């Protein structure tokens, strides 16, 4: 392991025990289901206590978080570090990529093992572990791509879900014809395998055959520049595939997670599917589509336009970013990732004269949280609890890392962000920590960023100074049969609410109809750090998991003031919500 030379005073992982203790004082703790004014005590990489008047051993380092929010570290469930694709290799490796993640407040990433067609999935998995294990600055897990189909692939999927490998999710591609794409028959087989293994199926939803044909026609018509990319794959091409993926998932009785949803049409297709089918459907979107738009493909500079090429593409409809933010707020979408897959100018130039050869991918792992805060919380569309849900807690639940990750609570890993809602900065490639020489959010002013980032108890962003340690992160095994996806695995696990009737669409899969109602006064209170705390969280409706004996706080008779009665502190109201969380909106 090496320590970042920029500022670290720590000389390795064997830090003396007093240095393993940390108290974050006077902040407002934000989880997906509530906020409270509380101190957080951390020891040996674990959150030991959350509350007031804590008894702390001498020699403990104290961070004053007055006026700041103390949140679970972000989880970016979609990165591609050191990915070889389209004749190039993405330039953010597992060191630079996770370092940038930490700088932006993300403390766990989930990367994708993507085997070549015909390659053993296990061999590809081992390659990924070899690339990542010695380099990661924060914890990471792996999804595995099912890029071809055969009985041996089915076998290897099963092996990968064993404890030895710890994989619980597989990504299938409906695009990238002749590379990673599966046909519908193969996709159904892969989804059935996921159901049998109680793993989570993910799809890249775009119609690869239509794209291939449109590319031929555009090139023949002389359209060779980056503007050809979005023209070859419009919203309909994404929405059709979302619909088809949902139909196939229903046939396979498989829960489904649709990665990088980039358009209003695709969200609509997902919502329609939720009204008619039973296995849960999750939607992920990207920082890219919240923070920028498809107008950049018309930029005369090849470098600029090509830097924005990703799939599905940014959309020309200027109302898309706002619609995506609203979909995240109202639980039409559950997760925001980055799909960080960065290529230098020389790599993007592989597609000069033929847009189909531009390596696909953009940055986002560092700026994901600040971009969403700026576009969603500062505008009053989302409250801080929902921000935590979509940037961290929901991914932890869906990929079975909860509550080890995604929560500030005694017993959880000490992955914590002290978020300064007033910190102002301008995003730029000149100052970002990523390896890539371009930033798609260049010049954007954001208000709200991390001041401290604690990774497994180690202060890795220290009052704005980045002090990561290469290799400090560890691989996280993700067990299958996630209770938030598949229901009840073990005796003693909290029961799901009553199962849905086969005739009535389950609320678990139905949109709650965009019922967020931003309360700007309350939001200002959150940010001003007033001493009286209330949950203040958006409450998308839906079926949720409940701990035994817990009241159902979705019930309309619930009142914050009644909850306050009987609590022994006036400044800290702990709203005890189901583990699904009032604003996580998953169930």
What residue ranges bind ligand URP (CB under 6 A)?
80, 204, 260, 310-311, 339, 341, 360-361
Query: In this complex, which beta carbon is closest to ligand URP, that of residue 192 or of residue 238?
Result: 238
Count other Cβ atoms within 10 Å, centred on residue 278: 16
Closer CB to ligand URP, residue 102 or residue 362? 362
Q: Judged by CB, which is closer to Zn ion: 190, or 453?
A: 190
Q: Which two tokens stand for residue 494?
A: 């909290």
Alpha-carbon gap, residue 89 to 327, rounded angstroms: 33
d(CA 245, CA 247): 5
Question: DSSP letters along 430-498, please?
Answer: TT--SSSS--TTTT-EEEEEEEEEEETTEEEEETTEE--EET---BPP--SS-HHHH---STTSPPBSS
Residue among 80 and 274 whose Cβ is closer to ligand URP: 80
Q: Are 506 and 496 in contact (CB under 8 A)?
A: no
The residue of the chain with the least Cβ separation from Zn ion equals 204
* CB-based contact 105:73 (threshold 8 Å): yes
The residues that bridge with 241 in the sheet, in sequence order, are none
92 scored as a contact of Zn ion (CB under 5 A): no
Task: Name the binder of 361 from ligand URP, Zn ion, none, CB < 5-8 A by kind.
Answer: ligand URP
Give the C-alpha separation, 302 to 319, whole Å: 25
Closest CB to ligand URP among residues 43, 240:
240
- Which residue's entry shows tokens 């696909």? 360
Angle in degrees, CA 470, 476, 477, rounded to 5: 150
**Binding segment toward Zn ion, per CB under 5 A, in 26-34, 332-340, 533-541, 560-568:** 332-340
> For the chain, first and last CA: distance in Å?
41
d(CA 264, CA 66): 39
310 binds, among Zn ion, ligand URP, none (CB under 5 to 8 A by kind): ligand URP
Binding residues for Zn ion, total number by CB under 5 A = 2
Give the β-pairing of 445-455 and 106-113: unpaired
| Least separation in angstroms between CB 173 and ligand URP | 7
Closer residue to ligand URP in complex, CB, 238/339: 339
How far is 315 from 311, CA to CA, in rounded Å? 11
| 200 touches, from ligand URP, Zn ion, none (C-beta below 5 to 8 Å by class) | none
Tell me the closest approach of the beta carbon of residue 247 to ligand URP, in angstroms: 21
* Shortest distance in whole angstroms from residue 80 CB to Zn ion: 5
Nearer to Zn ion by Cβ, of 75 and 469: the residue is: 75
Select from ligand URP, Zn ion, none the partner in contact with residue 420, using the beta carbon and a kind-dependent cut-off of 5 to 8 Å.
none
The one segment of 22-30, 333-341, 447-455, 573-581 that binds Zn ion by CB under 5 A:
333-341
Q: Name which of 83 and 138 has its Cβ closer to ligand URP.
A: 83
Cβ at position 169, least distance to Zn ion in Å: 13
Assess contact for 272 and 242: CB atoms under 8 A: no
Residue 415 near Zn ion by CB under 5 A: no
Is residue 339 a contact residue for Zn ion (CB under 5 A)?
yes
Residue 575 to residue 581: CA distance in whole angstroms:
10
Residue nearest ligand URP (C-beta atom): 360
Shortest Cβ distance from residue 361 to ligand URP (Å)? 4
Give the length of the chain: 587
If one asks whether residue 204 binds Zn ion (CB under 5 A), the answer comes out as: yes
The smaller minimum CB distance to Zn ion, of residues 284 and 497, is found at 284
Query: In the stretch 219-258, what mask flags binding to Zn ion with x, by CB under 5 A?
Result: ----------------------------------------
- Choose the binding region for Zn ion from 41-49, 202-210, 244-252, 264-272 (rule: CB under 5 A): 202-210
CA nearest neighbour of 334 among 183, 506, 501, 508: 508
- For residue 385, the partner it binds in ligand URP, Zn ion, none, with Cβ less than 5 to 8 A by kind, is none
Question: Does 284 interact with Zn ion (rule: CB under 5 A)?
Answer: no
The H or E element that residue 283 is part of is strand 281-286
The least distance separating Zn ion from the CB of residue 341, rounded to whole angstroms, comes to 6
HEC profile of 389-445: HHHHHHHHHHCCCCCCCCCCCCCCECCEEEEEEEEEEECCCCCCCCCCCCCCCCCCE
Residues with Cβ within 8 Å of residue 555, at least 6 apart in sequence:
none
Nearest to Zn ion of 204, 467 (CB atom):
204
Both structure tokens of 124: 């590809």
Can residue 111 be called a binding residue for Zn ion (CB under 5 A)? no
How far apart CA 349 and CA 307 sit, in angstroms, is: 10
- Min dist. Cβ of residue 579 to ligand URP (A): 30
Candidates 48-56, 200-208, 424-432, 524-532; binding stretch for Zn ion (CB under 5 A): 200-208
Shortest distance, position 51 Cβ to Zn ion, whole Å? 40
Is residue 368 part of the contact set for Zn ion (CB under 5 A)?
Answer: no
Distance set, CA 550 to CA 173, 290, 487 (Å): 41, 36, 18
Measured from the CB atom, is 328 or 341 closer to ligand URP? 341
Q: At what angle do helices 320-329 and 264-274 cross, to 10 degrees?
A: 30
Does residue number 326 form part of the binding site for Zn ion (CB under 5 A)?
no
- Smallest separation (angstroms) from Zn ion to the CB of 213: 20
Give the Cα separation of 213 and 511 in Å (integer).
34
> In whole angstroms, how close is the CB of 201 to ligand URP at the nearest point?
15
β-pair partners for 459: 454
What letter does residue 375 receive in the DSSP assignment? I
C-beta closer to ligand URP: residue 238 or 330: 238
Stretch that binds Zn ion, among 16-24, 37-45, 203-211, 413-421 (CB under 5 A): 203-211
**Residue with Cβ nearer ligand URP (279 or 361):** 361
Pick from ligand URP, Zn ion, none: which does 450 bind, CB < 5 to 8 A by kind? none
Shortest Cβ 9–ligand URP spacing (Å)? 38
**Measured from the CB atom, is 145 or 542 closer to ligand URP?**
145
What is the contact surface with Zn ion in residues (CB under 5 A)?
A: 204, 339
């Amino acid at each position: 392991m090496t320590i970042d030379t920029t500022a670290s005073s720590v000389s390795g992982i064997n830090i003396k025990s007093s240095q393993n203790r940390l108290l974050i004082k006077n902040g407002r703790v934000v989880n997906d289901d509530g906020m409270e004014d509380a101190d957080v005590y951390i020891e040996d990489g674990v959150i030991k206590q959350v509350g007031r008047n804590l008894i702390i051993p001498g020699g403990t380092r104290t961070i004053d978080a007055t006026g700041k929010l103390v949140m679970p570290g972000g989880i970016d469930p979609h990165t591609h570090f050191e990915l070889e694709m389209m004749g190039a290799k993405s330039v953010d490796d597992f060191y630079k990529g996770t370092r940038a993640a930490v700088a932006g407040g993300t403390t766990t990433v989930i990367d994708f093992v993507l085997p070549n067609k015909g390659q053993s999935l296990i061999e590809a998995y081992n390659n990924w572990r070899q690339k990542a294990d010695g380099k990661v600055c924060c914890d990471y897990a792996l999804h595995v791509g099912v890029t071809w189909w055969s009985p041996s692939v089915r076998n290897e999927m099963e092996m990968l879900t064993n404890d030895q490998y710890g994989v619980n999710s597989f990504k299938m591609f409906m695009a990238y014809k002749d590379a990673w794409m599966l046909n519908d028959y193969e996709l159904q087989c892969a989804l059935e395998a996921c159901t049998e293994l109680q793993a989570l199926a993910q799809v890249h939803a775009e119609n690869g055959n239509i794209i291939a044909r449109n590319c031929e026609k555009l090139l023949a018509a002389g359209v060779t520049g980056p503007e050809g990319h979005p023209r070859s794959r419009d919203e309909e091409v994404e929405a059709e595939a979302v619909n088809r993926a949902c139909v196939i998932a229903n046939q396979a009785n498989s829960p489904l997670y649709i990665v990088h949803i980039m358009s209003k049409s695709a969200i609509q297709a997902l919502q329609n599917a939720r009204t008619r089918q039973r296995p849960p459907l999750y939607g992920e979107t990207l920082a890219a589509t919240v923070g920028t738009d498809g107008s950049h493909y018309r930029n005369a500079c090849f470098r600029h336009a090509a830097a924005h090429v990703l799939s599905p593409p940014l959309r020309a409809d200027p109302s898309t970013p706002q619609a995506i933010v609203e979909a995240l707020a109202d639980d039409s979408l559950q997760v925001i990732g980055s799909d960080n897959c960065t290529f230098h100018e020389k790599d993007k130039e592989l597609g000069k004269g033929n847009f189909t050869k531009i390596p696909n991918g953009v940055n986002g792992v560092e700026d994901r949280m600040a971009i969403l805060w700026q576009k969603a919380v500062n505008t009053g569309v989302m409250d801080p609890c929902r921000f935590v849900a979509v940037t961290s807690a929901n991914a932890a639940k869906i990929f079975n890392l909860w509550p080890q990750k995604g929560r500030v609570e005694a017993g959880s890993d000490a992955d914590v962000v002290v978020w300064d809602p007033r910190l102002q900065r301008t995003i730029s490639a000149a100052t970002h920590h990523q390896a890539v020489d371009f930033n798609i959010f260049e010049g954007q002013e954001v208000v709200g960023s991390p001041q401290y980032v604690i990774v497994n108890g180690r202060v890795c962003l220290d009052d704005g100074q980045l002090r990561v340690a290469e290799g400090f992160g560890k691989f996280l095994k993700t067990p299958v049969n996630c209770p938030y996806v598949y229901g009840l695995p073990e005796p003693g696990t909290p029961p799901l609410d009553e199962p849905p009737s086969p005739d009535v669409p389950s609320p678990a899969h139905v949109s709650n109809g965009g019922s967020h109602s931003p309360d700007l006064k309350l939001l200002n209170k959150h940010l001003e750090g007033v001493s009286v705390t209330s949950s203040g969280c958006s409450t998308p409706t839906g079926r949720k998991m409940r701990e035994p004996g817990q009241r159902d706080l979705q019930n309309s008779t619930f009142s914050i003031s009644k909850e306050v009665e009987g609590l022994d502190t006036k400044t800290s109201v702990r709203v005890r919500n189901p583990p699904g969380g009032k604003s996580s909106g998953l169930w």
